[in-house]
Structure 1
Amino acid sequence: MRLRFRFRTIPFLATVVLVALGIALGNWQVRRAAEKTELQARLAQRSALPPLVLDGKPVDPAAVEYRHVIVTGEFVPNWPLFLDNRPLEGRTGFVLLMPFTIAGTGQVVLVERGWVPRDPAVHDRVPHVAAPPGRTTVEGVAVLHPARVMELGKAPPPTPGAIVQNVDPAGFARASGLAVLPVVVEQTSADAPTAAAVEPVRNWPGPAVDVDRHKGYAFQWYALATMAFLFFVITGFRSGTKQAG
């Protein structure tokens, strides 16, 4: 039996779309895997470095990100912010964010002090968490901004004590008028025992570096492109051979 191929325009166009889509999405997942591999290496390299002292001098955010840092100064007690929609182990709550004035400078760095529970009886009531009085030293990890959550529309500028969805150093600087470093510190050190009745929970999730997941997705998209092409070829030969017969 002589094989014949029957070309059909609509299946061909559908195949082109599927093959192009599969290759494009597969390439995107490969790039994501490369980015996560680079992030993994950067995390390992920076975690091995000695702690960086934030002394108020200008910092390069990209160079400081994920570094262990130490900063000495005082919290600004009248400017707390409560980051909303931050559940922990099935409980609703906030992440408490406070500005921290670096000793001997006019510079401020935002410090994520930790997770605090929400009052289940009053949705918009924020907990009172005392700041350590006087000069104190905070240790933590520098990040570019607090972890983001989905937010609808454009939020108004933050105000002292406000419940907000997202905030970054630049936006806080504009709202507060303070000179703010372009990084945020996820606090890992404990507060003084008398600073607060309940210490915020400091269980910071690390950045996702699931490289294998992106490689798996890439394989699936490439497989879809291959299957679409093979399906077009095989059905074309079957249809053409059957028609010839």
Structure 2
Amino acid sequence: MRIRFRFRAIPFVATVLLVALGIALGQWQDRRAAGKIAMQEQLAARAQEAPLLLGPQPVAAPTFQRVRVRGSFVQDWPVFLDNRPQGGRAGFYLLMPLRIAGSDLHVLVARGWLPRHAGEYGRLPPFDTPAGEVTLEGVAKESMGKVMQLGTPTPLAPKSIVQNVSVGQFAASSGLKLQPFFIEQTDPARPGEQLVRDWPAPALGADKHKGYAFQWYALALMALLFFVITGFRRGSKQND
């Protein structure tokens, strides 16, 4: 008795296609992971740069760049972004427009996190807002992230509790002229503000893409091994 390999055309073609597909998709995921790693390195470099000073002129969104601005909060336009848990507790992000000093231009500032009262959805948490002009620092972001929208969105108005909001939506509802980005304020909270500024790091997902790449490469390898192993069979010399 001896073991010999039997070549079969259809399984061979199917194996070649699966191996090619697995390698191609694995390489694609590797490239996506490399792009995310490069972005992480870029964000780390930006965090070490001096903050960009915002003035009365509109600027392009300096995504994830540190910024500094002086101005006064529009105290009658707070908005609460819902479904923003922190430390296992339900809560809101407090969003308020800041009028940039010496101009009619504003920028939306995410001032921090506030806890929600248990069992009282409509009850807003207390917070203080500094009067007059203040100087603050933070990180510029194109959006505050999106969460699942349940039901019809609430019309945007002062003291609204909303799931998501965009700069354009806020500008249309408030009539304010806005910079095209948000600022996540990073200054230490002042006495009485009752705000938590422990912002989540941006999740770029490089490890996720590495995991996907491994799965595609594993698929290619398994297809090849299956073809080779199932191609061998036992036979006798008389059958040769």
TM-score (norm 1): 0.84
Matches of 1:6 and 1:242 in 2, distance apart?
Answer: 17
Structure 2 residue matching 1:77: 3-state secondary structure: coil
Q: Which residue of 1 aligns with 2:197?
A: 202
Partner deviation per Cα, 1:80-130 (whole Å, 9 max, x = no partner): 111111111111111111111111111110000101000103122221322
Partner deviation per Cα, 1:179-237 (whole Å, 9 max, x = no partner): 110111111113543xx3x52000011213564453243123211122123213431x1
Change (3 A) 1:7 1:102: same
Cα distance, 1:177 vs. partner?
A: 1.7
Matches of 2:95 and 2:208 in 1, distance apart?
Answer: 32
Check whether the contact 1:132–1:191 (CA below 8 A) recurs between aligned residues.
no
Q: Which runs of structure 2 are paired with 1:48-197 in the superposition (5 Å)?
A: 48-61=48-61, 64-152=62-150, 155-193=153-191, 196=192
- The answer to whether the aligner puts 1:238 opposite 2:236 as a matched pair is no
Check whether the contact 1:74–1:100 (CA below 8 A) recurs between aligned residues.
yes
More displaced 10-residue stretch of structure 1: 209-218 or 117-126: 209-218
Matched residue pairs, number?
A: 236
Matches of 2:151 and 2:20 in 1, distance apart?
Answer: 34
RMSD: 2.7
- The answer to whether the aligner puts 1:222 opposite 2:217 as a matched pair is yes
Matches of 2:155 and 2:21 in 1, distance apart?
Answer: 40
Structure 1 residue matching 2:97: 3-state secondary structure: strand
Change (3 A) 1:154 1:226: farther
Q: Which residue of 2 aligns with 1:27?
A: 27
Matches of 2:154 and 2:22 in 1, distance apart?
Answer: 41
1:168 corresponds to which letter in structure 2?
A: S
Cα distance, 1:238 vs. partner?
A: 2.8
- The answer to whether the aligner puts 1:6 opposite 2:8 as a matched pair is yes
Change (3 A) 1:207 1:6: same
Partner deviation per Cα, 1:145-181 (whole Å, 9 max, x = no partner): 1132223566354221111111121221122221110
TM-score (norm 2): 0.86
Change (3 A) 1:155 1:233: farther
Check whether the contact 1:22–1:225 (CA below 8 A) recurs between aligned residues.
yes
Unaligned runs of 5+ in 1: none
Structure 1 residue matching 2:112: 3-state secondary structure: strand
1:226 corresponds to which letter in structure 2?
A: L
Unaligned runs of 5+ in 2: none
